[in-house]
Structure 1
Amino acid sequence: MPSAPIVDLADGNKMPQVGLGLWKVENATCADTVYNAIKEGYRLFDGACDYGNEVEAGQGVARAIKEGIVKREDLFIISKLWNSFHDQDQVEPICKKQLADWGVDYFDLYYIHFPVSLEYVSPETRYPPGWFYDGDKEVRLGKASLESTWKAMEQLKKNGLAKSIGISNYNGALLMDLFTYAEILPATLQIEHHPYLVQQSLLDLCAQKGIKVVGYSSFGPQSFLDCNMKVAEDFQLLFHHDTITKIADKHNKTAAQVLLRWATQRGISVIPKSTTKSRLLENLDVCSFDLTEDDIKEISSLDRNFRFNNPLNYGIPVYNFA
């Protein structure tokens, strides 16, 4: 059974380098997906309020623990603070709700999902609240500063609700601003990362500060085609790109394994989604071979500095990547 290498975080905690991302995992299959992934050797699960499947993910965890496959401390469970709960007095209550949904007492890692504050929507009104205040088309920006939200995140760590805290979708300027007020630096930064969006300067900044990077959407446009994102159709699928398939054939690996190894060999953690046993095993076994330096350079040269996970690409008028 393959297992993921362990990454040492700056706060002293340890994180598997490869995990299972739960974005777009359907509610009907999520519990079984998590349970089966644990059976196949997965220990890191990357969830979020906005994915709307935390209850089901927790059911999969509970089943595995009940059957003695793992203990809670064997798992690395991640969730994220949604934009609607950035107000300082809302951070801890929503984190506790998410913990209850998962059926656990603490998160191993808890992120600020996006560096944007939206107006509060009560979980009793609609959950998860999504981007629109009215659930349809009205965006209402909130008043919480990123500094005040980070201070509330630090309190979660101090209170033991999250062992590590991190940020997601921040750029270099926001990171440098965070460095001016943070008492506790983020252990990780989660970003969109694939050969069409390398973000090397941001990776370098994180390395300078000892912040580990977690890449999502490792397969590029593939992740967004089923979101009906028209712009994704303008890009050649990386699974079929001549550069990727050539390198995959050379190493007798799949294109997906090459894309994940390109990330992990450069020190980046990955959270690919899959619901099939064969793909789960392939994705977990991506550190048992090495690409050459030329392979890595050739893949990195595909960079087009294009971000798919931009709200504007979904027709959402939020300009946080402008």
Structure 2
Amino acid sequence: MPSLTLHNGNIIPQLGVGTYQLSPEDAVPIVSAAVEMGYRHFDTAQLYHNEAAVGKALNEAIKAGLVKREDLFITTKLNNDFHEPAEVVRSFDQSLKDLGLDYVDLFLIHWPVPKLYDGRYDLTWQTMIDRIYETEKSKAIGVSNFEIHHLERIIDATGFVPHANQIQAHPYFANNELRQFCQSKEIVVEAWAPLARATVLKDPVVEELSQRFEIAPTDLVLGWALARGDVIFPKTSKVARLAENAHCLTIEMPAEAMAAIDQLDKGEAGRYGDHPDKVDFLGR
């Protein structure tokens, strides 16, 4: 499994399993099967309401001797409801309890929600540093859906650079300016929706590349993301799809294919959903 190094020296597997929109009933068999297939990176969140199921599957795998805890990389995320300092700690401790773990490998602020909490997501970040990272409850901390100005604010306020930023990035929305900023700060980029909700798989350019190089569309698009240096975790509710997603590790991306997929970028028009500055939902 290819991996990247966080700026604190910790290793993060570049391919993982995303659990967004996985019901607890589906999460257990998916995570269990993924462990058996060799996946070691699992991404969940308080917002997904499946931490207990993910933890159940992982702890059963550990107990069965299929994997050691230290060989797993487990990420969860702070819900928008819990940005107040006391709530950061309380909700994180609840996540650990639900997951059945003593620590996680990465804890992220899910959204900056700058319209809420008087816009003081920098205080949320300081709490993450003081109460989560420095107490070693999480081996690394980071953010999700943070734009350049959000990152600059928390870095300027605390002097602490996030270990990772999980952002939307795919061929239709390459998010290159933000990715380049993260790279300049040694922030690992994690790309959510790497398949552009599967729409890019039917793109005529991708279909032509697939035929020309005899590489499956999924392999091409995921291979493009890996070659760019992104961490990815395509989500699925089907066990068979886990193997399909992992197959991208076996291919060598042709330079022509990389260049052609680069050209699919639509800029801001390719973004799914609202810009992070507009996201302000609670209670989901």
TM-score by length of 2: 0.92
Q: Distance in 2 between matches of 1:31 and 1:253?
A: 31
Q: Which amino acid aligns with 2:278?
A: Y
CA displacement at 1:249 relative to structure 2: 2.6
Q: Where does residue 81 of structure 1 map in the other structure?
A: 78
Q: Where does residue 150 of structure 1 map in the other structure?
A: 125
Q: Where does residue 180 of structure 2 map in the other structure?
A: 204
CA displacement at 1:275 relative to structure 2: 3.2
**Which 10-residue stretch deviates more, 280-289 or 80-89?**
280-289
Q: Which amino acid aligns with 2:272?
A: F
Q: How many residues get paired?
A: 277
Contact 2:111 2:144 in 1 (8 A): yes
SS class of match (1:114) = coil
Q: Distance in 1 between matches of 2:18 and 2:26?
A: 14
Q: Which has the higher helix share?
A: 2
Contact 1:272 1:283 in 2 (8 A): yes
Q: Which amino acid aligns with 2:88?
A: V
* CA offsets 1:86-140 (integer angstroms, 9 cap, x no match): 011111111010010000011100000000168xxxxxxxxxxxxxxxxxxxxxx
* CA offsets 1:278-319 (integer angstroms, 9 cap, x no match): 32112123233222222112112111122213289xxxxx81
> Structure 1 residues 311, 84: closer, same or farther in 2, change over 3 A?
farther
Q: Which residue of 214, 231, 234 corresponds with 1:272?
A: 234
Q: Which runs of 5+ in 1 are unaligned?
A: 119-140, 223-236, 313-317
Confirm or deny that 1:319 pairs with 2:282.
Answer: no
CA displacement at 1:320 relative to structure 2: 4.1
Q: Distance in 1 between matches of 2:61 and 2:214?
A: 33
Q: Where does residue 290 of structure 1 map in the other structure?
A: 252
Q: Distance in 2 between matches of 1:298 and 1:74?
A: 36
Q: Distance in 2 between matches of 1:249 and 1:110?
A: 40
Contact 1:113 1:167 in 2 (8 A): yes
Confirm or deny that 1:241 pairs with 2:200.
Answer: no
CA displacement at 1:63 relative to structure 2: 1.1
SS class of match (1:177) = helix
The aligned runs of 1:5-44 (5 Å cut-off) are 5-44=2-41
CA displacement at 1:14 relative to structure 2: 0.4
The aligned runs of 1:87-166 (5 Å cut-off) are 87-116=84-113, 141-143=116-118, 145-155=120-130, 156-166=132-142
Q: What is the root-mean-square deviation of aligned Cα atoms in Å?
A: 1.8
Q: Which amino acid aligns with 1:150?
A: W
Q: Distance in 2 between matches of 1:309 and 1:70?
A: 37
Q: Which amino acid aligns with 1:214?
A: E
Runs of 4+ displaced beyond 6 Å: none
CA displacement at 1:43 relative to structure 2: 0.3
Q: Distance in 2 between matches of 1:65 and 1:106?
A: 15
CA displacement at 1:32 relative to structure 2: 1.3
Q: Distance in 2 between matches of 1:98 and 1:117?
A: 24
Confirm or deny that 1:53 pairs with 2:53.
Answer: no
CA displacement at 1:184 relative to structure 2: 2.4
> Structure 1 residues 271, 85: closer, same or farther in 2, change over 3 A?
same
Q: Distance in 2 between matches of 1:143 and 1:169?
A: 18
Q: Which amino acid aligns with 1:164?
A: A
Q: Which runs of 5+ in 2 are unaligned?
A: none
Contact 1:11 1:187 in 2 (8 A): yes
* CA offsets 1:35-82 (integer angstroms, 9 cap, x no match): 111001110000000001111111111111111001111110000001
SS class of match (1:91) = helix
Q: Which amino acid aligns with 2:120?
A: S
Contact 1:265 1:287 in 2 (8 A): no
Contact 1:48 1:79 in 2 (8 A): yes
Contact 2:218 2:248 in 1 (8 A): no
**Which 10-residue stretch deviates more, 74-83 or 242-251?**
242-251
Q: Distance in 2 between matches of 1:52 and 1:144?
A: 25
Q: Where does residue 261 of structure 2 map in the other structure?
A: 299
